[in-house]
Chains A and B, each alone.
Chain A
Amino acid sequence: MERNRDDFVIAIRSAFLKKGTQQRFSLLALIFFSITFLILGSINYKPINNLKKILKETVYLSSFIVSVPENLLGKTYVNIYNHFSHYEEYKKIRKELEILKLIDLNNQILNLENIKYKKLIDDYFVKDNETFAKVLIDKQSPFLRSIIINKGMKNNIKKGMIILDEGYLVGKVIEVNYLTSRVLLISDINSKIPVSIQPGDIQAIMSGKDKQKGVLQYIKGTDLKKDNQEFIVVTSGAGEVFKNGIPIGVIKMEENDINADDKIVNFYRDFSQLKYVKVVSYSQELESLDSLSKKDSNQQQGKIKETNQINETLRILKEQKKIDIEVRAKIEEENFILKNTIFKLKNELRISEQIINQNKTLSTDLKYLKLDLLYGAKCKKNFFNKLYKVDSKKYKACVLNKGLIK
């Protein structure tokens, strides 16, 4: 037992303390150095930070040179692939172009409107610094997804600046050296971006998940409309880390479990194909807004007055309309009653007319009968005269005439 322990100690001592053949440093000494570096680095010790900077400048440039052959191979492969798929893509692009031209016109109008309204609410940002940079190293390790760009302090790059690739969000600057800077990609698990999901304007936080994917957090219980197949994810501008409205990616509902709490975002850009990126910073449009705002405010006040007047007129008209409706209802009610009365009266009139007619007929008959008794003999036909038959028309006329017509 004692022997075994001794062997172990000897082996360990030999491994860590003894300098091997052609070994200039003992392992233990170097391990001690590493630990010292780690500890001093964690407390931001200045000489270590300076050493870091020197190392970074050297490594980034040498890494770029070492990576040239592999990059060349990668580019050749991409070129060959593009060449073969050229015609198919051309047809597809032509179709898309026609559609996009139409959409673009609408977008231009919407953009102008958007700028106008954003200026009104002091939320309009302008680019105050824009630089194009080349991607030196695209080192996508599982620990930290980041890229190195060839612009640094010398080119006015500052920590926190936004990195765009053709208008799409790629990441932000987290480390600035004199000639180079490190960009944390949005696909990194440590990047937390306040985003807005459209349509619906749902607010969430997005962090990286995969090479081409992100995951939305803190949207538990939020109901994404099920009838929508795609949701667009843009920066929300919350926390003033990013300008709002920078496109990031899409959520495809077919890829996501409806009940899942974390939704997957597919990024628009392929981060492994980044070659040149745009480094921008935004600031509020202060001066131009001040000069514009005076004119705008007068115009706005005028408009507000007009609107208030229109509102007041509208209110009065609404009141009048209400009263009119009430009056109309009353009139309609009265009208209905009157119509009923007219109908009744007409009925009565008709009945009265009938009675009058009957009475007239009766009175004529009565007169005829009376005169018949008196003058019937003068008109009646008999053996000795050639007068009229009883009840004939001529007889009646004769009776009513009280004898023969002379």
Chain B
Amino acid sequence: MNRIKKNNIAHSLYSLTPVILLFVSVLNEIDFNYSGLKYFSFNFAYILIFYYNLKKSEGLGFGLVFIAGLLNDVVIGMPIGLSSLIYLLLCGAASYLRNITLRPNLMKDCIFFLMTILTLNSLSFLILTFIFSYELNYLDQVINIIFTFIFYLIFSYFFNLLEEFIRERS
């Protein structure tokens, strides 16, 4: 009985891993989105949301993504609702790709991810610049997009390992 209970708790903890990762990355002070290096930054939340919506849609609820976006806005100091919108659109793009894909391929996923983050960052840039009069650096944006794209390959490998580990345990 105890063993079953333990297994249940462990399983629910494992299944909550993406949610915990998302909220820690959003609330955490050490942000991958701005690591402090001059020409290096990437958006971990984008990778996480896209991967889990593409591969395991039940892993991250849209409601949680929406709340994570709100928290991110508050922590970073952006207009409330912007990150939520971007995250949810990313979820939408990932869901669309999942629906139209018959044979999954990492490279195709990556290219679709690149196109999506390019579009979403452009949208975010337009909203921030034209509606909220923020000044943003083009170079930072481009570097962020490039590294997010590159790190998608690496992190998707690690997430695959994590998923396999969880599957084995459960």
Q: Which residues of A contact B (CB under 8 A)?
A: 7, 10-12, 14-16, 20-27, 30-31, 33-38, 41-42, 48, 51-52, 55-56, 59-60, 62-63, 66-67, 70-71, 74, 137-144, 146, 175, 182, 189-190, 210-211, 272
Cβ contact within 8 Å between A34 and B57: no
Give the complex CA separation of A137 and B156 in angstroms: 29
Give the complex CA separation of A23 and B23 in angstroms: 18
Does B106 interact with chain A (Cβ within 8 Å)?
Answer: no
CB distance from A391 to the nearest CB of B (A): 123
Q: Is the interface of B mostly helix, strand, loop or mixed?
A: helix
Cβ contact within 8 Å between B29 and A27: no
Does B62 interact with chain A (Cβ within 8 Å)?
Answer: yes
Q: Can you give 15 contacting A-B residue pairs, CB < 8 Å?
A: A15-B98, A23-B62, A24-B63, A34-B81, A35-B85, A42-B79, A60-B75, A137-B29, A139-B31, A139-B75, A142-B34, A142-B140, A142-B144, A143-B128, A146-B77
Give the 8 A-B residue pairs with the shortest CB-CB distance, closest first.
A37-B81, A67-B29, A15-B95, A34-B85, A38-B81, A34-B84, A15-B96, A144-B77
Does B91 interact with chain A (Cβ within 8 Å)?
Answer: yes
CB distance from B80 to the nearest CB of A (A): 5
- Known A21-B57, A62-B27, A142-B34; contact A34-B69, beta-carbon cutoff 8 A: yes
Q: When each residue 49-77 of chain B gets 1 if its CB lies under 8 Å from chain A and 0 otherwise, what string results?
A: 00000000110011101100111001111
CB distance from B6 to the nearest CB of A (A): 23
Does B9 interact with chain A (Cβ within 8 Å)?
Answer: no
Give the complex CA separation of A159 and B100 in angstroms: 51
Does B136 interact with chain A (Cβ within 8 Å)?
Answer: yes
CB distance from B135 to the nearest CB of A (A): 5
Most buried by B among A41, A48, A139, A143: A143
Cβ contact within 8 Å between A143 and B96: no
Give the complex CA separation of A272 and B37 in angstroms: 12
| A residues near B89, Cβ cutoff 8 Å | 31
In which size bucket is the chain B interface? 35 or more
Cβ contact within 8 Å between B92 and A31: yes
Cβ contact within 8 Å between B38 and A42: no
Q: Which residues of B contact A (CB under 8 A)?
A: 23-24, 27-31, 33-34, 36, 38, 41, 57-58, 61-63, 65-66, 69-71, 74-82, 84-85, 88-89, 91-93, 95-96, 98-100, 127-128, 131-132, 134-137, 140-141, 144
Cβ contact within 8 Å between B85 and A12: no
Give the complex CA separation of A52 and B84 in angstroms: 14
CB distance from B54 to the nearest CB of A (A): 11
Give the complex CA separation of A27 and B127 in angstroms: 20
Cβ contact within 8 Å between B66 and A35: no
| B residues near A36, Cβ cutoff 8 Å | 81
Cβ contact within 8 Å between A12 and B96: yes
- Known A141-B76, A189-B135; contact A14-B36, beta-carbon cutoff 8 A: no
- Known A25-B62, A30-B66; contact A182-B127, beta-carbon cutoff 8 A: no
With A21-B58, A37-B84, A67-B29 given, name 11 new contacts (CB 8 A): A14-B95, A14-B99, A15-B98, A16-B92, A33-B66, A34-B66, A38-B81, A55-B70, A60-B75, A70-B29, A74-B30
Name the CB-closest residue of A to B100. A11
Q: Which of B30, B61, B80, B91 contacts A37 (CB 8 A)?
A: B80
- Known A34-B81, A272-B36; contact A189-B136, beta-carbon cutoff 8 A: yes
Give the complex CA separation of A293 and B2 in angstroms: 84
Cβ contact within 8 Å between B28 and A66: yes
Name the CB-closest residue of B to A175. B77
Cβ contact within 8 Å between A67 and B128: no
Cβ contact within 8 Å between A20 and B95: yes
| A residues near B132, Cβ cutoff 8 Å | 42
Give the complex CA separation of A392 and B149 in angstroms: 140
Cβ contact within 8 Å between A190 and B135: yes
| B residues near A138, Cβ cutoff 8 Å | 29
| B residues near A33, Cβ cutoff 8 Å | 66, 81, 84
| A residues near B71, Cβ cutoff 8 Å | 55, 59
Give the complex CA separation of A74 and B128 in angstroms: 32
Cβ contact within 8 Å between A38 and B24: no
Most buried by A among B36, B92, B134: B92
Cβ contact within 8 Å between A66 and B24: yes
| A residues near B30, Cβ cutoff 8 Å | 67, 70, 74
Give the complex CA separation of A337 and B70 in angstroms: 103
Q: Which of A24, A41, A60, A66 contacts B81 (CB 8 A)?
A: A41
Cβ contact within 8 Å between A143 and B136: yes
CB distance from B140 to the nearest CB of A (A): 4
Give the complex CA separation of A14 and B57 in angstroms: 13
